[in-house]
Structure 1
């Protein structure tokens, strides 16, 4: 009987994607196959401050890495959400907080009651009813408490992380190598394809070494060395919906305690991120080159830093979109090699994590069943398209007309499903999550309201609550949230006590 088991995995490229894949494969597959990672220090990576979504905790749990170990090794901080400034109108500010909003009743989400209460003038802004969105601007943070009732907001605090991407890759490298992953230093000079079926047979390094494998993971970044340059997979461009195609990144000195949230501030032709770490603050300006020059974008970034810049700004060029197939023959692309949807909602690392989990779930044999490949690609495309639409929402749902860039975003056509989401929400505040899409109902609700999409009506079952009880319900939920936030420690104090950074370089 022919042994069809995968015996040799080769990862092309390091960085966050490569070492996340190596660490996960080493942990899950153990000694069932060899894992080889090829990278070159000459190519290097950009050490930026990185933001995530709460899903990364599941990945760390899989590896057996707890929060304390992770934060200390990556100079990290905690993240309760993203603050958006100047997006719908100049002067506007709202927070997309992780976790739930208020208290659902029966079959109806809390925001349906809030809509009616807001129309009656007995409700505050929606952000007043979520522990994350109240705690974040006050600089408060704690993980979920285990000594409080299960229905307390303190028992269900959703959070993510900010961390140094370079330190994270270094941390995962140590983890992976301790579990048998072999690293090879060198540049890939040529990709050898099998003449009979066009599958990748081996990588040839500039040193002359030939590295053969059964399954190849492309983590070579935008170049897509295997998935595109060797296999010519093709790319679906979505820059007509997400027009930003440049980014400039630079760290700056810390000038105060790190905020437990990412800041995304709209600029004349894009937006600027601010990600607080323990030893510095990461900053970047994402912009559209059709509406702003590189020099202008650099000037905007440097004029809006909290502290003195640390080094020279690093410029990046990209095209938003995705490969036509993330898995082609015996190559699976992860990270930037698979596609890029810009960092507005910190989804890049999530999509690496999701791709790894999906591959392990559908782990193939050496005959590479096309049924598995097709299923993997279909799920990958679904995920990219749903995240893509969530990002488009931020740009399109705006009232800004002060620059040509925002005029273009406001008036552009949008994908049909996103248009349906907006029309349904504007009509009666309803949102129906599409299967297993990444962002939950509270996320869509917060962003649509934050972008000034105010529903005209609400679900008729809300009227089952007597009018005189509605104001009391809103006040009660708001009071519970405020009481819980008062009990939380300051973010900086929590870090100092539990997980101060091990490295500051």
Structure 2
């Protein structure tokens, strides 16, 4: 007997979250399920999430997007990681690259061997020299990793830096070509079933009523359905992540075109710099409890390396997440589900996770609660693991030059993160709680970049002869440097607009 299939999906809100949700649903269901997206031109989208994690490539591949066309239509550049400046202490600079530090030796991760070498040899080069992504970024080089012959010099991956508005428009065209419908209008009220509380329809300011079976809330910080109608509740993480404001402004592109995002710590927050083909995205994330909006604006404008193309736009937020993202027949995706500040470009990744998990747990019209429970377990775990990784950036500061950084150094942190830091500080080991989240090389990059040098390394690292070990690492470093030197400049590679 055929199941009681979903007949109509209503997506409330457009922007990146709305159209990233609509595209894969239309791909799978567009010919046998009505998909309607409602958006209002009066309500602007946030549109500052221009940098991504490498996971965006899997999302694009599932949709079957043409790589060259995607790069052209979204003004995309390649992203090998994030450069951190003045984090930990003023004058500090390190790189969180998308890749590892070379292959394990005898099953032992390479940073343990580096720690042993650094205790034996003076002037040991920084560990970033064994990260292919970091060396490429430092020299503004880019080439595609080989999928056919894995080598040390291919031990990296990449994301993109693109115009979020152009990406949303690109996916809108994709979704509508596969049956999704777009309705323009402003939602003024939400109808709910008097007994179950399920959402039955949304009403527009012109009197139209849009009914549906499954409602997806992509209404941004307003959280029109998940909070406005269902009163789900919010886990406020401000005590761990005190930044609550942001200013965003584009500026003219300048050379060289860097294949990475930059984060520069300031007195009460940090600046982002995201280079696109046609411009550079910039912003200042800060706490207005520790600085003024006027001073934050000035810090942002002073940090631009090109002419400002607009006036800075002000944003306010509260870091945290909905207690549950799927309640009854409403699933929140994007900013309506939660917000962890954009320090590691996780916003779009969280949309990918939510959409993918919804498809995996897709309901019929009975809406079995077990599906929502599993969805919420996965999403809550992902938000919490990202929270911990972001909090780590602040907590490990050695800065005491401002009240903001003194607060961060002394603030309480989640027990899960405290245990991760203590384990690494004492033993050099990293425990990964979310296997689909940030991996071991990411934690090693951040922990060591912020000045946490482990007191010990894996005892099995002592089993290799120290001179052989030194020669092995020197050879790897030279191989990586030579491979990067042969690669084209990032801008030149983009001009080729290669397929991948």
Q: How many residues align?
A: 498
Deviation at 1:49, TM superposition (A): 6.0
Cross-structure match for 1:136: 137
Return 5+ residue gaps in structure 1 as ranges: 501-505
Say which is worse superposed, 157-166 or 102-111, in terms of deviation.
Answer: 102-111
Say if 1:146 and 1:199 are closer, same or farther in 2 by CA, change over 3 A: closer
Cross-structure match for 1:97: 97
1: CA distance, partners of 2:349 / 2:2? 37
Deviation at 1:372, TM superposition (A): 1.1
2: CA distance, partners of 1:434 / 1:255? 40
2: CA distance, partners of 1:489 / 1:2? 56
Say which is worse superposed, 319-328 or 24-33, in terms of deviation.
Answer: 24-33
Is the contact made by 1:73 and 1:171 (CA closer than 8 Å) also made in structure 2? Answer: yes
1: CA distance, partners of 2:167 / 2:305? 24
Is the contact made by 2:239 and 2:412 (CA closer than 8 Å) also made in structure 1? Answer: no
Cross-structure match for 2:402: 403
**Aligned ranges for residues 153-164 of structure 1 at < 5 Å?**
153-154=153-154, 156-164=155-163
Cross-structure match for 2:121: 121
Q: Give per-residue Cα distances to partners, 1:145-189, cap 9 Å, x unaligned.
A: 357x422423x4300000001101111111111111000000001
Q: Give per-residue Cα distances to partners, 1:246-278, cap 9 Å, x unaligned.
A: 000000011213200000000000000000001
Deviation at 1:433, TM superposition (A): 1.4
TM-score, normalization: structure 1?
Answer: 0.97
Is the contact made by 2:96 and 2:442 (CA closer than 8 Å) also made in structure 1? Answer: yes
**Aligned ranges for residues 350-365 of structure 1 at < 5 Å?**
350-365=349-364
Is the contact made by 1:49 and 1:276 (CA closer than 8 Å) also made in structure 2? Answer: no
2: CA distance, partners of 1:385 / 1:33? 33
2: CA distance, partners of 1:437 / 1:62? 17
1: CA distance, partners of 2:29 / 2:207? 29
SS at match of 1:225: coil
Cross-structure match for 1:289: 288
1: CA distance, partners of 2:345 / 2:121? 34
Cross-structure match for 1:503: none
Cross-structure match for 2:332: 333
SS at match of 2:96: strand
**Aligned ranges for residues 293-442 of structure 1 at < 5 Å?**
293-442=292-441
Is the contact made by 2:273 and 2:282 (CA closer than 8 Å) also made in structure 1? Answer: yes
Say which is worse superposed, 83-92 or 123-132, in terms of deviation.
Answer: 123-132
1: CA distance, partners of 2:150 / 2:494? 25
Deviation at 1:435, TM superposition (A): 4.4
Is the contact made by 2:216 and 2:331 (CA closer than 8 Å) also made in structure 1? Answer: yes
Is the contact made by 2:49 and 2:345 (CA closer than 8 Å) also made in structure 1? Answer: no
1: CA distance, partners of 2:254 / 2:440? 35
Is the contact made by 1:56 and 1:353 (CA closer than 8 Å) also made in structure 2? Answer: yes
Is the contact made by 1:219 and 1:334 (CA closer than 8 Å) also made in structure 2? Answer: yes
Is the contact made by 2:18 and 2:218 (CA closer than 8 Å) also made in structure 1? Answer: yes
Deviation at 1:106, TM superposition (A): 2.4
Deviation at 1:31, TM superposition (A): 1.7
Say which is worse superposed, 110-119 or 179-188, in terms of deviation.
Answer: 110-119
Say which is worse superposed, 219-228 or 137-146, in terms of deviation.
Answer: 137-146
2: CA distance, partners of 1:97 / 1:477? 17
Is the contact made by 1:74 and 1:168 (CA closer than 8 Å) also made in structure 2? Answer: yes
SS at match of 1:227: coil
Q: Give per-residue Cα distances to partners, 1:57-105, cap 9 Å, x unaligned.
A: 0000011013211110101100000000000110000000001112211
**Aligned ranges for residues 160-239 of structure 1 at < 5 Å?**
160-239=159-238
Cross-structure match for 2:110: 110
**Aligned ranges for residues 235-254 of structure 1 at < 5 Å?**
235-254=234-253
Is the contact made by 2:49 and 2:347 (CA closer than 8 Å) also made in structure 1? Answer: no
Return 5+ residue gaps in structure 2 as ranges: none
1: CA distance, partners of 2:498 / 2:468? 44
Is the contact made by 1:344 and 1:391 (CA closer than 8 Å) also made in structure 2? Answer: yes
SS at match of 2:195: coil
Cross-structure match for 2:9: 9
Q: Which runs of 4+ in 1 moved over 4 A?
A: none
Is the contact made by 1:11 and 1:36 (CA closer than 8 Å) also made in structure 2? Answer: yes
Is the contact made by 2:234 and 2:323 (CA closer than 8 Å) also made in structure 1? Answer: yes
Deviation at 1:28, TM superposition (A): 2.1
2: CA distance, partners of 1:417 / 1:249? 32
Cross-structure match for 2:75: 75
SS at match of 2:389: helix
Say which is worse superposed, 59-68 or 236-245, in terms of deviation.
Answer: 59-68
Is 2:463 the partner of 1:464? Answer: yes
1: CA distance, partners of 2:206 / 2:283? 36
2: CA distance, partners of 1:200 / 1:364? 15
| CA RMSD between the two structures | 1.4
